[in-house]
Amino acid sequence: MLRSRRFKNDEQAIELPINIVVMLVVGMVALAALLAIIPKSKENLSVDIIDVKVSDDPTTKGNTAKVVGAADHAVTVNIKVYDKNNNPVEKASATLTGGGGFGTDQTNKTGLAHLYLGGSSGSMVTIRPNQQSVELKLVVKANGFYDYEDERAVLLIQTRD
């Protein structure tokens, strides 16, 4: 009985719940401040391959082109990059690789990029006599967006005409 009177009269006993409440409030304020500085979530990119041109052959709409014979070929690919609302994405970096070739470009105000594999801006695509096709990988990166990757973005099919 003597012990319970001491507890009732002890003013330090009330400090524990107050300390817990104060720590909880300070923790919530710190969490709110941390969440306020986290950047907005990223969006997905949409990429359309407009056309493909191989060496001096005619331009082919879409992502597939025929290549006559085994050799080194210059390839030109035109793409357009959009955001989720179908608005063009400016200054997105696009890279196309495959078949020993590579090419890079940056999108303009309308979201267009012209990727050249061969010539002064990149290396040519090599198609060997025993290859039926070559797949070119497309990677597009832009600030505020998830990276876009397509391992089989462009298909070059060898014909023997």
Question: Are 92 and 50 within one domain?
Answer: yes
Q: How far apart are CA 48 and CA 153, in angstroms?
A: 10
Q: What pLDDT is recorded for position 120?
A: 61
Confidence of residue 56 (pLDDT cuts 50, 70, 90): confident
What CATH number is attached to the domain comprising 54?
Answer: 2.60.40
Angle CA(78)–CA(142)–CA(98) in degrees, nearest 5? Answer: 45
Residue-wise pLDDT tens digits, 133-154: 999 999 999 998 999 999 999 9
Question: Are 33 and 50 within one domain?
Answer: no
Question: Are 29 and 56 within one domain?
Answer: no
Question: Are 65 and 105 within one domain?
Answer: yes
Question: Are 144 and 107 within one domain?
Answer: yes
Question: Are 30 and 99 within one domain?
Answer: no
Question: Are 29 and 51 within one domain?
Answer: no
Question: Are 135 and 155 within one domain?
Answer: yes
Query: Which position has the token pair 């309308």?
Result: 110
124 or 119: whose pLDDT is higher? 124
Question: Are 67 and 140 within one domain?
Answer: yes
- Give residue 145's Cα distance to chain centre: 6
Q: What pLDDT is recorded for position 1?
A: 47
Question: Are 7 and 54 within one domain?
Answer: no
Question: Are 75 and 15 within one domain?
Answer: no
> How many domains does the structure of the chain reveal?
2
DSSP characters over the chain = -HHHHHHHH-GGGGHHHHHHHHHHHHHHHHHHHHHHHSPPPPB--EEEEEEEEETTSPPEESSEEEEESSEEE-EEEEEEEE-TTS-B-TT-EEEEEETTEEEEEE--TTSEEEEEESTTSSBPEEE-TT-SEEEEEEEEE-TTBPPEEEEEEEEEEEE--
Q: What residues make up the domain containing 138?
A: 46-159
